[in-house]
Amino acid sequence: MPTNKLDEALAFIRSLSIKVTSENLVGTDVTKEYIDIEGRLATLKKTQARFEEILDKAISVQDILTVQRELISLQDQIDTLIGQKESIENNAKLTKITVYLSTDELALPYAPDKAFRPNIVFKLAVRSLLSSLRSGAQAAIWIGVYSVIWAPIVLGFIAYKRLRKKQKTL
């Protein structure tokens, strides 16, 4: 799959199913291999240029044939490396997609979304209890501190009510 169309392809594939049970995207970094091939190509081309210089200076038929064999061998190696380089360039533009889809929810095996872990539930419950106790204690402290304001008001109101009750009975 061309990497530049990956999001489109994934959206289309996901739309074909009720549930995507798993997906795996694989892209490989080929930078080191690519650089290695470029270095080997440069070396082979320099060697080829040297052999061409030797061929220009060769006089005997035997020397000419030997140098030509070496030039042909070098050209084969160069062509092979160029092919590998082009293959790497093309593969670098691709991403392998593996997707397992289900078109029927009932056909899927039951797999809970979250695993039941009693030890985690217990820890969360204890933390919640401690948090509630801490909040209650903080509220009690605030009520106690502000009692210098609300206690006289409440006591005054209670005294007023009792006084009115006594006056009504008389």
How many beta carbons lie within 10 A of that of residue 51, not counting itself? Answer: 19
Q: Is 24 helix (H, G, I), strand (E, B) or coil?
A: strand
| Predicted TM-score (pTM) above 0.85 | no
Task: Give the residue from 46, 113, 99, 107 showing the smallest Cα distance to 77.
Answer: 46
Task: Give the residue from 86, 7, 81 showing the smallest Cα distance to 47.
Answer: 81
Q: State mean pLDDT over 105-131.
A: 82
| Cα angle, residue 19 at apex, residues 16 and 22 outer, rounded to 5° | 100
| 16/170 Cα distance (integer angstroms) | 88
Give pLDDT, residue 71.
93
**Residue 91: which residues within 8 A CB-CB, separation 6 or more?**
28, 30
Give pLDDT, residue 100.
67
| 21/143 Cα distance (integer angstroms) | 55
* Amino acid type, 107: A
Task: Give the residue from 59, 51, 55, 53 showing the smallest Cα distance to 77.
Answer: 51
Find the farthest-apart pair of alpha carbons in the chain and give their distance in angstroms, rounded.
148
Give pLDDT, residue 21.
64
**Percent of the chain beyond pLDDT 70?**
83
Give pLDDT, residue 153.
94
pLDDT grade, residue 107 (50/70/90)?
low
